Amino acid sequence: MANTTQSKKRARQADARHDINKARRSRIRTFLRKVEEAITAGDHDVAAEALRVAQPELARGVSKGVLHKNTVSRKISRLSSRVKALKNATA
């Protein structure tokens, strides 16, 4: 347990950051789930729009330190290729 005033403050800050990061991660997962559901449904237009909306959220996660840059880059790349393959399959 924290003893000094500074360590008590840092513990409070860590709890607050934990809640903020948890909410941010949850929000990002929601956007990713929408893209996944659209891909599963086979609807290219909805999937492309969901991906377009999800990309800034993922980038925001990187800038806030919730996710690693390469992780987000990999996720966007893989989702983009799946959406593109969906377009080619329906065309």
SS3 50: helix
pLDDT of residue 89: 81
pLDDT of residue 2: 80
How many separate domains does the chain show? Answer: 1
Distance of CA 30 to the CA centre of its chain: 8
Query: Over the stretch 46-67, which tens digit does the pLDDT of each residue have?
Result: 999 999 999 999 999 999 999 9
The CA distance from 60 to 53, in Å, is 12
Give the domain CATH number at 24. Answer: 1.20.58.110
pLDDT of residue 88: 87
> Which regions in the chain score pLDDT beneath 70?
91
The CA distance from 62 to 57, in Å, is 9
71 φ, ψ (degrees, to nearest 5): -65, -45
Q: Evaluate if pTM is beyond 0.75.
A: yes
